[in-house]
């Protein structure tokens, strides 16, 4: 999962690994969430099929869609109902090669309380950096896809109100790191709120000096 994929088959393996890790981490339940990836510069992307369970993914559970118009290329299976969320984000962000859409409970809860999710640790600040907020739209809708794509021009991590999150990366591993760190930051924020603290956060003056590595 940590090496860059060179084939669509390797992308499927990496996404299956992330699906298993996401379920084990409690970031999604049952058949919720969906994952996608593409090879850098490719004109198509793979996305999990409708109704698939992320901790049971096999190669046949992925659909291949054309980036230009979202057309299904391989015919089976039917793509996730959220395929437009992935498709429109790739169109808006040519540098993104993986998208992880999960349902992290603390992130959704803190956002529903109209509280900002605060970045507390170095990892939160390094991987998440900033968090976009997408107002509620029905899942699978054009409105949700368009609103998420707009936020993706400004952020690599978005909370979809009353729904979940969308985390982007240059590869599968980075997209998942961002989703996991978003939920950890939300959990820390929730605990701080219980303690009555609404100000503690990573020092803003140090954000500009952070780099991945």
Sign of CA dihedral 65, 70, 73, 74: positive
Coil, strand or helix at 207: helix
C-alpha span between 181 and 123 (Å, rounded): 7
What gap in Å lies between CA 205 and CA 213, rounded to an integer?
20
> The tokens of 18 are what?
């992330």
Phi first, then psi: what are they for 201, rounded to 5°?
Answer: -160, 170
User: 27-52 pLDDT, tens per residue?
Assistant: 999 999 999 999 999 999 999 999 99
With contact defined as beta carbons under 8 Å apart, do 125 and 183 qualify?
no
Residue 77, preceding peptide bond in cis (omega within 30° of 0): yes
Category of 33 on φ-ψ map: left (φ > 0), alpha (ψ -120 to 50) or beta = left
Q: Of 26, 155, 175, 14, which Cα lies nearest the Cα of 93?
A: 155
Count of CB atoms situated within 10 Å of the CB of 7: 9
Question: Residues of 137-162 as b/e, b for ≥16 C-beta within 10 angstroms?
Answer: bebeeeebbbbbbebbeebbbbbbbe
Q: Determine the Cα–Cα distance for residues 165 and 102; give it in Å rounded to an integer.
A: 6
Write down the architecture of domain 8-204 according to CATH: 3-Layer(aba) Sandwich (3.40)
Low-confidence ranges of the chain (pLDDT < 70): 1-2, 211-213
For position 213, what pLDDT does the model report? 47
Q: Within the chain, what is the greatest distance between any pair of CA atoms?
A: 53
Give tens-digit pLDDT for 182-211.
999 999 999 999 999 999 999 988 887 886
State pTM to two decimals.
Answer: 0.95
**Of 125, 118, 96, residue with least CA distance to 211:** 125
């Amino acid at each position: 999962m940590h090496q860059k994929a060179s084939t669509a088959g390797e992308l499927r393996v990496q996404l299956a690994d992330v699906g298993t890790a996401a379920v084990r981490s409690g970031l999604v339940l049952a058949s919720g969430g969906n994952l996608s990836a593409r090879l850098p510069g490719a004109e198509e992307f793979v996305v999990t099929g409708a109704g698939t369970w992320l901790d049971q993914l096999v190669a046949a559970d992925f659909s291949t869609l054309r980036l230009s118009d979202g057309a299904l290329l391989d015919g089976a299976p039917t793509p996730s109902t959220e395929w437009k969320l992935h498709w429109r984000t790739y169109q808006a962000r040519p540098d993104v090669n993986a998208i992880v859409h999960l349902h992290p409970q603390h992130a959704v809860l803190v956002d529903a309380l109209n509280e900002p999710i605060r970045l507390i640790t170095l990892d939160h600040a390094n991987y998440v950096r900033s968090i976009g907020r997408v107002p509620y739209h029905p899942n699978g809708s054009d409105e949700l896809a368009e609103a998420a794509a707009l936020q993706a021009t400004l952020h690599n991590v978005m909370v979809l109100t009353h729904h979940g999150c969308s985390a982007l990366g240059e590869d599968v591993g980075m997209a998942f790191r961002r989703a996991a760190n978003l939920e950890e930051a939300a959990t820390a924020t929730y605990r701080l709120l219980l303690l009555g603290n609404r100000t503690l956060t990573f020092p803003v003056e140090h954000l500009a000096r952070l780099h991945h590595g």
